[in-house]
Amino acid sequence: MPAPARTGRDRIVAAACDLLEESGVDGVTMQAAAQRVGVRAPSLYKHVRDRRALLEGVVDASMSALIERLDAARDDADARASVAGQLAALRRFAHERPQAYGLVFATTPGAPRPAPEALARSVRPLLDALTALHGPEHALDAARLVTAWATGFLAMELAGTLRLGGDIGAAWDWGLQRVVAAVSAATPGDPPNVL
Amino acid sequence: MPAPARTGRDRIVAAACDLLEESGVDGVTMQAAAQRVGVRAPSLYKHVRDRRALLEGVVDASMSALIERLDAARDDADARASVAGQLAALRRFAHERPQAYGLVFATTPGAPRPAPEALARSVRPLLDALTALHGPEHALDAARLVTAWATGFLAMELAGTLRLGGDIGAAWDWGLQRVVAAVSAATPGDPPNVL
DNA sequence: ACCTGAACACCGTTCAAGT
DNA sequence: ACCTGAACACCGTTCAAGT
């Protein structure tokens, strides 16, 4: 006599996503997730291998949501606007879902990393815009510089490390302008690594 | 009849630092730390309020070590060399003690943040160099840009997100050169935030 | 004054037993 | 085929009892 499933992997992952934002990674316990979907903790193991796999599901779902936003923010007609728009979308995501952002970008101790393909897809539109801006020569280096700056800035902002004064939004805009200018100046003929 | 102390706060924190690097934040348990100093877990509470306070001690000790290195790497005679030297020292620290670096800079979930004064002291030499490079006008913005890029880059490097190919050391040098150039171009007369 | 075992609450995970 | 209670190992923390 088969018992009907009272929950499923998708619902469990969704519950875990909510828990993450409400109480942080440590709040994503098997018991709490089970309670959300109206079941006891041991039942989850019928749908999810273990807690780590559950967090993997959360990471994947968060990456998908982020990729969607970045894609919606791209502007194939104006490369500069595309870069600015994507970075603004990234910052909006970090503000709206700080825990998910931190789980994906900050290197949480035992937490799973996003899949390489998902990471590649997430930077694709940025890579396109930077290639359009000044050729494929240093597009990868430029993308690394831009994303390193953006994720570093947002990590500091979310951690509250930017208390040294001044408007944070203005600091972001100032940095964004400088960073884009920096990579724009990187043309193939440049002398390499003089510093 | 007083019993002689068989351990002390400093030894406990030192043991926790070793544990951190060997097995990550999750490996820093009260029981493991107690075993290292030859005592039972409940005894630790005579020297440390709770696990969070222990991690605070680890963070403070790590910050002190980092500040010492950054200070040794400064070059008051050559501002550019000072910036480059400090960033190289930061990267060396991240490679030698990745867990400590991650605990301090990546926003670990429930982990304590470094004290604001320690953070201020750690950026002081960089701030000095950047002020010497192009005046106090945008020194703070410049320091934020540089540290955001560096910490973002190192977070990606430590997380293994830079698998897209190419020499990582070269990417670091390329970015470093660009970032320093970017902030050098930031003189008071610039048009603000056109992007 | 410090250390200890015992105890409690909590968590992840397994498993035999229910339907 | 899925759900459950009971059980186990582990952790942080408290506390009365030892020296």
Per DSSP, the residues of A100-162 read HHHHHHS--SSPPPPPHHHHHHHHHHHHHHHHHHH-STTHHHHHHHHHHHHHHHHHHHHHT--
Does the CB of B91 sit below 7 A from strand C?
A: no
State mean pLDDT over A124-146: 91
pLDDT tens digits along A10-52: 999 999 999 999 999 999 999 999 999 999 999 999 999 999 9
**Chain A residues within an 8 Å CB radius of B170:** 193
Does the CB of A110 sit below 7 A from strand D?
A: no
The pair of structure tokens assigned to A130 is 């930077």
pLDDT for B109: 67
Q: Which of A69-78, A123-132, B102-111, B160-169 has the lowest mean pLDDT?
A: B160-169
Other CB atoms within a 10 A radius of the CB of residue B133 amount to: 17
End-to-end CA distance of chain A: 72
Other CB atoms within a 10 A radius of the CB of residue A162 amount to: 17
Q: How confident is the model at residue A109 (pLDDT cuts 50, 70, 90)?
A: low
CA A111 – CA A32 distance, rounded (Å) = 18
pLDDT for A86: 98
pLDDT for B149: 97
Of B13 and A135, the one with more pLDDT: B13
Place of tokens 């544990």: B19
One-letter amino acid identity for B109? P
Yes or no, beta carbons of B144 and A153 under 8 Å apart: yes
CA A141 – CA A167 distance, rounded (Å) = 29
- Closest to A109 (Cβ–Cβ): which among B84, B108, B116? B108
Tell me which chain A residue has its CA closest to the CA of residue B145. A175
**Chain A residues within an 8 Å CB radius of B151:** 152, 155-156
pLDDT for B189: 43
Yes or no, beta carbons of B113 and A160 under 8 Å apart: yes
Rg, chain A, Cα only:
20
Does the CB of B51 sit below 7 A from strand D?
A: yes
- Closest to B153 (Cβ–Cβ): which among A148, A182, A192? A148
Quick check: B47 and B8 in contact, CB under 8 A?
yes
- Give the distance from CA B22 to its chain's centroid: 18
| Closest listed residue to residue B144, CA positions, set B132, B129, B126 | B126
**pLDDT over 80 at A113, yes or no:** yes
CA A168 – CA A170 distance, rounded (Å) = 5
pLDDT for B166: 75
Q: What share of chain B is helix, strand, coil (3-state, %, to 5)?
A: 70, 0, 30
Kindly report the nearest CA distance between residue A155 and chain B, in angstroms: 7
Q: Which of A105-114, B14-23, B93-102, B120-129 has the lowest mean pLDDT?
A: A105-114
State mean pLDDT over B67-74: 98
- How many angstroms separate the Cα of B172 from the Cα of each of A118, B3, B190? 23, 54, 27
**Chain A residues within an 8 Å CB radius of B26:** 109-110
Scan residues 10-49 of chain A and list those with Cβ within 7 Å of strand C: 28-32, 41-42, 45
Yes or no, beta carbons of A113 and B151 under 8 Å apart: no
Share of chain B above pLDDT 90, in %: 74
Three-state SS for B181?
Answer: helix
Yes or no, beta carbons of B105 and A151 under 8 Å apart: no
Q: List Cβ<8 Å contacts ≥24 apart for A105-109.
A: A105/A151, A105/A154, A105/A155, A105/B155, A106/A155, A106/B106, A106/B107, A106/B108, A106/B155, A107/B102, A107/B106, A107/B155, A107/B158, A107/B159, A108/A25, A108/B106, A108/B108, A108/B109, A109/B24, A109/B25, A109/B26, A109/B102, A109/B108, A109/B109
pLDDT for B47: 98
CA B99 – CA B13 distance, rounded (Å) = 15
Share of chain A above pLDDT 70, in %: 92
Does the CB of B110 sit below 7 A from strand C?
A: no
**pLDDT over 80 at A186, yes or no:** no
State mean pLDDT over B139-164: 90
**Chain B residues within an 8 Å CB radius of A179:** 145, 149, 179, 182
Question: Can you say whether the dihedral through the CA atoms of B164, B165, B168, B174 is positive or negative?
Answer: negative
Average pLDDT, chain B: 90
pTM of the model: 0.91
Which of chain D's bases lie under 7 Å from a protein CB?
A: 1-6, 10-16, 18-19
Backbone angles phi, psi at B94, to 5 degrees: -65, -35
The torsion angle over the Cα atoms of residues A26, A28, A34 and A36, rounded to 10 degrees, is 120
State mean pLDDT over A42-66: 98
End-to-end CA distance of chain B: 72
Q: B58's torsion region: left (phi>0), alpha (psi -120 to 50) or beta?
A: alpha
Q: How confident is the model at residue A194 (pLDDT cuts 50, 70, 90)?
A: very low
